[in-house]
């Protein structure tokens, strides 16, 4: 074992004995930061969704290849105009308290997510459904006018405004997961959380036995799950840690069996780690980018945003910092996205950047206010290192000073939601394999926009793409919209496309496959032989 890895392993032996219970689940995996919530209607992050997909199941569900498969719905019919979907629910689907999962559960759950009082930031996922957005915005007050209705207890009909090729994938996504609304209402009335162990009623492959903050989430195989016979693990622990070194320490000494999150790899040792047989990496539809708050000076001026973007050396970042084979990103949407070729975005052009900054009133950076770059993670991690590198680029090429501000994951997410930042690190992983999942985030007032940017032409193009049935014409409309986003409006600056990285023993742990959306459902995991 190389010296650096031995050192990490030694530290882990010490850390693993500090405050962690001795009982061990069948599978222990490292999930990244502490989850912000377990409420599907409230979550926006991938690490929260991993747990949600274990506790709840939608009409469809992602398989280990990231493709939608029958979930609560055992089959579905699509009308001749590709706008009406009729889902036939399993009579064997049950909530963890034994109640049947019915059409009414989906209607009540989707209504709850769309009610403004719920505060769901992902209501755009319902946009293809007739009148869903109008109901969320208060333009339609009767939910009966939304295109969702129960034909009977086990038959759900959904009417879309336009053909939506990714709708079956949307039905597997976290925001559209059903919740047990009677228990939610019970605890809401009491002013208590319904997502705690002993209260949370789910319909997924696992139940929530324990949630010890900053220690672990313990999941137990559900006896009421319709496909329980094919769930490979009896118990799973999800360990939260945002520290790369701590995460690898736990993995290296067997405290954990699987490092799931791409952000947990200690990049200082990446060249060495890539040679290990338990290192698994593949590109997927995810992009790391900078997000500007266009409601704050000086980033309310597009010339300033453009100047900052033009001095961002993306190749240097991937070669010097990330070093796992990531490709510099000229666009937001990755080139691996199905049926779409993204436009070529901005080139590295410091001379033009300096000219734009001068036009904005800051020649040579003179008079430019100190701004703060918001990031996450520990010192020495990828996020922090990228922040330092960007700081140097802006100082060197533009003559401006940038301070780095670090926040814990949950605080950072709250800052983004409140637009309480100057500019910040961001990332987006496709919820389904289609350009819409990246571009629709930036329509005016979308919950995931988080820049304050609004462009009527961009909004119109995204709406036009949603109405276009021809795949090639639809792609062309998206490309026009993306050009506005990354080259003209510039509320963001794409940096690189993600490479998904996991550490696990592939000869013993099965059910994991590289896929375009980087989803690895826990219910599919199994031990092919005794773990170490």
Provide the pairing of β-strand 155-159 with 84-89.
Answer: antiparallel
Provide the pairing of β-strand 235-240 with 216-221.
Answer: antiparallel
Alpha-carbon distance of 11 to 8, in angstroms, equals 5
Alpha-carbon distance of 14 to 35, in angstroms, equals 25
Cβ(185)–Cβ(175) under 8 Å? no
**What was the pLDDT predicted at 378?**
66
2 secondary structure, DSSP code = -
Given a cut of 70, whether residue 5 has pLDDT beyond it is no
In the block, which residue shows the tokens 């983004």?
Answer: 416
Given pLDDT bands bounded at 50, 70 and 90, which one contains residue 267?
Answer: confident
264 secondary structure, DSSP code = G
Distance of CA 203 to the CA centre of its chain: 22
Given a cut of 50, whether residue 154 has pLDDT beyond it is yes
Given pLDDT bands bounded at 50, 70 and 90, which one contains residue 447?
Answer: confident
Given a cut of 60, whether residue 120 has pLDDT beyond it is yes
**What was the pLDDT predicted at 12?**
41
Given a cut of 50, whether residue 17 has pLDDT beyond it is no
Given pLDDT bands bounded at 50, 70 and 90, which one contains residue 260?
Answer: confident
**What was the pLDDT predicted at 326?**
94
**What was the pLDDT predicted at 265?**
83
**What was the pLDDT predicted at 263?**
77
Cβ(346)–Cβ(309) under 8 Å? yes
Average pLDDT over residues 127-155: 97
Phi and psi, residue 492, nearest 5°: -140, 165
Given pLDDT bands bounded at 50, 70 and 90, which one contains residue 380?
Answer: low
How much of the chain is helix, strand and coil, in % rounded to 5?
35, 20, 45
Cβ(37)–Cβ(213) under 8 Å? no
Given a cut of 60, whether residue 532 has pLDDT beyond it is no
H-helix segments, 81-180: 103-114, 132-136, 167-170
489 secondary structure, DSSP code = I
Helix (H) or strand (E) holding 288: strand 279-292
* Mean pLDDT computed over every residue of the chain: 93
**What was the pLDDT predicted at 7?**
40
Alpha-carbon distance of 505 to 515, in angstroms, equals 18
**What was the pLDDT predicted at 245?**
86
pTM: 0.85
Question: Mind listing the pLDDT tens digit for each residue in 60-116?
Answer: 999 999 999 999 999 999 999 999 999 999 999 999 999 999 999 999 999 999 999
35 secondary structure, DSSP code = P
**Long-range CB contacts (within 8 A, 24+) of 457-465:** 457/484, 458/484, 458/485, 458/489, 462/436, 465/435, 465/436, 465/439
Cis amide leading into 298 (omega within 30): yes
Better-scored residue on pLDDT, 94 or 44: 94
Given pLDDT bands bounded at 50, 70 and 90, which one contains residue 15?
Answer: very low
Alpha-carbon distance of 36 to 47, in angstroms, equals 9
**What was the pLDDT predicted at 379?**
65
Given pLDDT bands bounded at 50, 70 and 90, which one contains residue 243?
Answer: confident
Given a cut of 60, whether residue 3 has pLDDT beyond it is no
Given a cut of 50, whether residue 368 has pLDDT beyond it is yes
Helix (H) or strand (E) holding 161: none
Distance of CA 486 to the CA centre of its chain: 20
**What was the pLDDT predicted at 13?**
38
Given a cut of 70, whether residue 6 has pLDDT beyond it is no
Give the Cβ contact number of residue 532 at 10 Å: 7
**What was the pLDDT predicted at 262?**
75
Closest CA to 6 of 262, 240, 269: 269
Phi and psi, residue 426, nearest 5°: -150, 165
Q: Give percent above pLDDT 90 in the chain.
A: 86
Alpha-carbon distance of 479 to 462, in angstroms, equals 10
């Amino acid at each position: 074992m190389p010296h650096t890895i031995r050192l990490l392993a030694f530290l882990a032996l010490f850390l693993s004995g500090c405050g962690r219970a001795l009982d061990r689940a069948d599978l222990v995996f490292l999930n990244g930061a502490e989850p912000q919530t377990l409420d599907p209607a409230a979550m926006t992050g991938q690490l929260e969704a991993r747990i949600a997909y274990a506790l709840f199941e939608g009409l469809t569900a992602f398989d280990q290849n990231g493709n939608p498969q029958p979930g609560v719905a055992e089959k579905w019919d699509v009308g001749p105009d590709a706008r009406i979907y009729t889902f036939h629910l399993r009579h064997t689907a049950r909530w963890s308290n034994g109640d049947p999962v019915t059409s009414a559960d989906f209607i009540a759950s989707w209504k709850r997510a769309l009610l403004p009082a719920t505060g769901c930031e992902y209501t755009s996922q319902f946009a293809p459904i007739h009148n869903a957005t109008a109901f969320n915005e208060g333009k339609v007050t009767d939910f009966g006018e939304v295109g969702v209705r129960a034909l009977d207890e086990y038959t759900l009909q959904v009417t879309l405004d336009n053909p939506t090729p990714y709708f079956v994938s949307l039905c597997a996504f976290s925001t559209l997961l059903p919740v047990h609304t009677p228990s939610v209402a019970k605890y809401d009335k009491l002013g208590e959380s319904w997502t705690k162990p002993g209260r949370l009623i789910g319909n997924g492959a696992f139940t929530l036995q324990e949630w010890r903050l900053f220690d672990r989430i313990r999941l137990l195989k559900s006896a009421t799950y319709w496909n329980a016979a094919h769930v490979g693990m009896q118990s799973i622990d999800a360990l939260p840690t945002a520290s790369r070194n701590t995460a690898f320490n736990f993995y290296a000494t067997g405290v954990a069996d699987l490092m799931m999150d791409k952000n947990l790899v200690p990049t200082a040792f990446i060249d060495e780690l890539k040679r290990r047989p338990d290192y698994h990496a593949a590109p997927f539809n995810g992009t790391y980018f900078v997000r500007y708050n266009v409601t704050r000076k000086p980033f309310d001026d597009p010339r300033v945003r453009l100047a900052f973007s033009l001095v961002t050396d993306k190749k240097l970042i991937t070669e010097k910092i990330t070093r796992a084979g990531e490709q510099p990103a000229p666009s937001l949407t990755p080139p691996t996205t199905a049926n779409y070729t993204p436009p070529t975005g901005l080139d590295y052009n410091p001379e033009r950047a300096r000219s734009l900054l001068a036009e904005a009133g800051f020649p040579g950076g003179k008079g430019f206010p100190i701004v703060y770059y918001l990031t996450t993670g520990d010192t020495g991690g990828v996020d922090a290192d990228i922040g330092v590198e960007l700081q140097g680029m802006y100082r060197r090429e533009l003559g401006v000073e940038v301070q780095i501000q670090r926040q814990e994951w949950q605080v950072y997410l709250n800052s983004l939601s409140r637009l309480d930042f100057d500019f910040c690190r961001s990332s987006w992983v496709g919820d389904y394999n289609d350009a819409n999942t990246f571009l629709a985030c930036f329509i005016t007032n979308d919950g995931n926009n988080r820049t304050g940017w609004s462009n009527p032409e961009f909004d119109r193009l995204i709406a036009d793409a949603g109405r276009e049935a021809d795949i090639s014409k639809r792609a062309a409309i998206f490309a026009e919209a993306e050009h506005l986003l990354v080259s003209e409006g510039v509320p963001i600056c794409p940096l690189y496309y993600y490479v998904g990285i996991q550490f696990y023993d592939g000869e013993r742990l099965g059910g994991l496959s590289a896929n375009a959306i980087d989803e690895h459902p826990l219910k599919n995991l199994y031990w092919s032989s005794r773990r170490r």
